[in-house]
Amino acid sequence: MSTDATVTGVSGMLSAQAGAGGVTRGGAWSRPDGRRALQLVLATIWLLDGVLQLQSFFFTKNFGLQMISGMSQGNPSLIARPISWSGTTIGHHAVLTDTFFALVQIAIALAIAWRPTVKVGLGASMAWSVGVWWVGEGLGGILNGAANPVNGAPGAVIIYALLAVLLWPSDRTGRKAPFIAARAVGEPVAKGLWLVLWGSLSYFALLGANRSAEGLHDLINGEAAGEPAWVAWIDRHSAGLVDHRGLTAMVVMAILLAIVAIGVYLPPSCANVTVVLAIVLGGAFWVVGENFGALFTNGATDVNSGPLLMLLAAAYWRRARSGDPADPATAAESAPSLEGA
Amino acid sequence: MTSPAWLNDLFAAVMVVVAVYSTGRLVAARMWSRPTHVDVDAAHVLMGAAMAGMLVPAIDPIPNGVWEVGFSLLVVWFVWRCYQFVTEHGVEGRDDDHVHHLSHYVTHLVMAGAMLYMYLAAVTPPIGSGGGMAMGTARGTTADLVLLPLAFIVVLFASGIWELDGIGRFAPGGPGRPRPELAYAAGSAAAAGGTAPAPGGPGVPSVAGSDLSDQEDQHRESGQVAPWLAPRLESSCHIAMCVTMGFMLILML
């Protein structure tokens, strides 16, 4: 018998001895399965966001009066007014509000990470994300024509909410889920959400100014300001590649995004190819259009959409075959082990 | 980039608590013959004290050069510990406590490396420039090495989150509370084809190759159990250090 199997056996025995009564008191602490691992990645991103919120810029009036209020531009009055009001309020109480924002995000991270409060954390993640999507991101620019998937449309924070829904720790009875995202909401709903998200990205790619010959060039070039030299170099050279070819580039991108959108309905092997394509696109957006979430400018509140799109794509990865021990859907049922940090 | 003084003070206070607790932990482990990771606790003392000093320079009497040498040695030490672990247990194996993996040492290697980075890369702000950390934002060439601190931040936050996820293992009577006797049980189970005796029970045979101290051997021979010293508090210290170090690195991006 291998050492691992032995330790698992010992662990199982200890778990059985511990009895029932909660996760920590003998509810058989088990090694994180695929879904739990994705939850922990989400928690890690929330923690990063929370600590980013502690940068000095966000304790100044400029955070509310410039950054937040600026999100109202071009939005319908119904959407813009609450944003402007929030921006003014946050600007005038910068220290208090920013401290609160940081604490909420850190608390969400810790709640997701601590098993007894994972549902509280994911629920808070949904509520907070929707609020921030409106006030902090102006609905990702989808109503003012500024949305472009290259620089983060439809808003990173709404993907947090989507992930919280898809990674909810419950399982639908009946058929075994073919991928992690389908475990909580079922396969048809999970596929529908994927189609809507990636389909909307494809649509935004061809929206308004994004179709112009210089639109993509100007967008990427404009991101270089304030970045380290090597990031600015990537921006300038990427912008040079699409100079005067904006329409062609965006049409190609829209096609790729559409392929990803419908890929979830393809047979498993083809669907996984489109999942890989989604991860590649998410990574490309993060590096080129989002400049690593602008983390190096001391003004980033989150990591932007790239890593979240990649995390989301991982939740749609189909297992190799039914009943595979590595299957995330079945791993949770396997015997616990003494896996350590 | 500076941060509000009260925020630095808050993080510094947490680090002082961690350093003091880790010091007490080392003393208690020796006094009560309880197993603990001495090198990790010692690293927590050093890192806690150093970070408190970086956040509030007034409480740090030690020159930066001394800290740099100290953390260089700590990096070398954890490189050695990683090497030692791989040679003894392999990449996939577990430590003698049957809880910790190679990642336990890699994480502390990253932490020591991050501390060294903060001392070497940052530029001390001019005297009289107001409050804030002793270490300002990285400048010049180091400012282009932002992927390195970003990698540190990701590893630290992921480590803190995974540690919190696993903290339930260490509840009293929980399945993963690291206890030396588990080594005996696991070894016996291996010899018996998977039937493990009751942990800590009488007549539990020893495990060939296990690296337990003489005191633990005495406990075993006398049938006593020496439980791991406060593993959940150790984890909590680790989480606090990861968050604080990540905060400081973010300010240096």
pLDDT in tens, B62-78: 999 999 999 999 999 99
Average pLDDT, integer, range A181-195: 95
State the pLDDT at residue A252: 96
State the pLDDT at residue B169: 82
pTM for this entry: 0.83
- Asked whether the predicted pLDDT for residue A295 surpasses 80, the reply is yes
State the pLDDT at residue A16: 33
- Asked whether the predicted pLDDT for residue B91 surpasses 50, the reply is yes
Q: Are A80 and B205 in contact (CB under 8 A)?
A: no
State the pLDDT at residue A180: 95
% of residues, chain A, pLDDT over 70: 85
How many domains is chain A partitioned into structurally? Answer: 1
Most confident among A135-144, A152-161, A191-200 (mean pLDDT): A191-200
Q: Are the Cβ atoms of A47 and B159 closer than 8 angstroms?
A: no
Kindly list the domain boundaries of chain B, sorted by start residue.
5-174+227-252
Most confident among A32-41, A63-72, A221-230, B187-196 (mean pLDDT): A32-41
Of residues A319 and B203, more confidently modeled: A319
B 97-126 residues inside an 8 A Cβ radius of A? 98-101, 103-104, 107
**H or E element: which one contains A272?**
helix A268-284
Query: Which of the four pLDDT bands, split at 50, 70 and 90, describes residue B228?
Result: confident
- Asked whether the predicted pLDDT for residue B222 surpasses 50, the reply is yes
Scan for tokens 């030396």, then name that residue.
B180
A212-266 pLDDT, tens digit each: 888 899 999 988 888 888 999 999 999 999 998 999 999 999 999 999 999 999 9
- Considering only the beta carbons, identify the residue of B159, B171, B194 that sits closest to A1: B194
State the pLDDT at residue B193: 33
Q: Which of A178, A172, A90, A195 is nearest to A132 (CA)?
A: A90
CA distance A217 to A15: 59
Which chain B residues contact residue A306 at CB under 8 A? none
Q: Which of A1, A2, A3 to mutate to test the interface with B (most CBs of B within 10 A)?
A: A3
Query: Which of the four pLDDT bands, split at 50, 70 and 90, describes residue B125?
Result: low
Average pLDDT, integer, range B37-45: 93
Assess if residue A274 is contained within a domain.
Answer: yes
Q: pLDDT averaged over chain A?
A: 85
Assess if residue A295 is contained within a domain.
Answer: yes
Q: Are A129 and A155 in contact (CB under 8 A)?
A: no
- Asked whether the predicted pLDDT for residue A319 surpasses 60, the reply is yes
B76-89 pLDDT, tens digit each: 999 999 999 999 88
Query: Which of the four pLDDT bands, split at 50, 70 and 90, describes residue A6?
Result: very low
Average pLDDT, integer, range B8-28: 95
Of the given ranges (A132-146, A277-291, A327-341, B215-229), which has the lowest mean pLDDT? A327-341
Which residues, other chains included, contact A199 with Cβ-Cβ below 8 Å and sequence gap of 6+? Answer: A257, A258, A261
Which chain A residues contact residue B172 at CB under 8 A? 25
State the pLDDT at residue B143: 63
Query: Which structural domain range is residue A248 located in?
Result: 33-318
Q: Are A220 and A289 in contact (CB under 8 A)?
A: yes
B144 at the A interface (CB within 8 A)?
Answer: yes
Which chain A residues contact residue B194 at CB under 8 A? 1, 5-6, 9
- Asked whether the predicted pLDDT for residue A20 surpasses 70, the reply is no
Which residues, other chains included, contact A156 with Cβ-Cβ below 8 Å and sequence gap of 6+? Answer: A137, A302, A303, A304, A305, A308
Assess if residue A214 is contained within a domain.
Answer: yes
Alpha carbon of residue A338 to chain centroid: 30
- Asked whether the predicted pLDDT for residue A315 surpasses 90, the reply is yes
